[in-house]
Structure 1
Amino acid sequence: MATGRRAPIFVVRGHARARLGGARLGRLAVPRRRPGGQGRYRVVTAPSDAVYYRRSRFTTHLPVDRRYSPAHYWLLEESPGIWRVGLTRFATRMLGDIVDFEFGTPQGAHIAVGDEIGGIEGLKAVTSVYAVGSGRFLGEGAPLRQNVTLVETDPYGEGWLYRLQGTPAEDVVDVHGYVAILDATIDKMLASRHAAGDDRD
């Protein structure tokens, strides 16, 4: 794994009350435990080699062949040392409908973990795009030039953001590690909501 700086967390700029799946980030109901259940979320393996995650008002399928970053990026190793990178469904829900993106980093340039290499704009928020590995930047996702909404509608397929040749950041995890990251992230949202006195379901 790459050493040095840790990849930054996914940070959105714009609407402070970004929405998650059509509901404000603060408006997430605490799920009930199932009888005999041990966790706050339910995880099962889907037939399509994905993990189904459900927590509060958010549900998603997470491909098991990816690695995931705490900043809500996924990484897929296409061939040894060649990584395709995209945003997870959770990240795209925070951004809302994708309207524009741009990469200021030239193809072939050296990048390091945490470098700001571009930006992406949604109707709900705007965020920088960061390097989640160190090595060479191999360029943006070509399909996005034809249809930028693929980031939202097909985040694990044609909606990938960029490719890099090198090594991922040290803090990337497998799908089960990302389940824990999602749970901790939503816990913080719930805590923020309750601290603000918003007790609506």
Structure 2
Amino acid sequence: MNIPQELKYSKDHEWIKVEGNTATIGITDFAQDQLGDIVYVDISSQEGDDIAVGEAFGSVEAVKTVSDLFMPVSGKLIAVNEDLNGEPEKINSDPYGDGWIIKIEVTNPSELEDLLDAEGYQSIAG
């Protein structure tokens, strides 16, 4: 299982990469593996929306299940990975790269302190 050291993680299996005030969010290698083949990504939020920590911003649909996506920190949605519309399987093949899901402008940086580091995430992902 791939758990990059430079990322932060939520207990809901989202990863977040923060660069300045912008953060990229996706689901972890563990999560995509548990879901299986991802066939559809639905982002229920619109660009410009403010989304609170813990709020669902969309879902991923795999062959046998649908799983909600939860915000690891509060932020304003600034970009959605449109490539996933035609190729949702990018989440399976490259969850930390081309399989990113959204980008946000972080509105409450102190919430980052509540996230797990790679070692902490490893302990819950097993």
Q: Which has the higher helix share?
A: 2
How far apart, CA to CA, are the structure 2 residues paired with 1:94 and 1:126?
A: 12
1:142 matched to 2:85: no
TM-score by length of structure 2 reads 0.89
Deviation at 1:146, TM superposition (A): 3.3
Match of 2:24 among 71, 84, 89: 84
What pairs up with 1:45-194 in 2 under 5 angstroms? 60-77=1-18, 79-166=19-106, 167=109, 168=111, 170-183=113-126
Q: Which has the higher contact order (CA 8 A, sep 6+)?
A: 2
Q: Distance in 1 between matches of 2:90 and 2:117?
A: 24
> What residue identity is the alignment partner of 1:146?
G
> Whole-Å Cα distance in 2 between the matches of residues 61 and 114 of structure 1?
24
Q: Which TM-score applies when normalising by structure 1? A: 0.58
Compare CA radii of gyration and give the structure with the larger one.
1
For residues 153 and 129 of structure 1, the distance between their equivalents in structure 2, rounded to whole angstroms, comes to 18
| TM-superposed deviation, 1:169 | 5.0
Q: CA RMSD in A?
A: 1.4
SS in 2 for 1:139: strand
Shift of 1:170: 4.7
Q: Which runs of 5+ in 1 are unaligned?
A: 1-59, 184-201
Identity %: 31
Name the SS of the counterpart of 1:94 in structure 2: helix
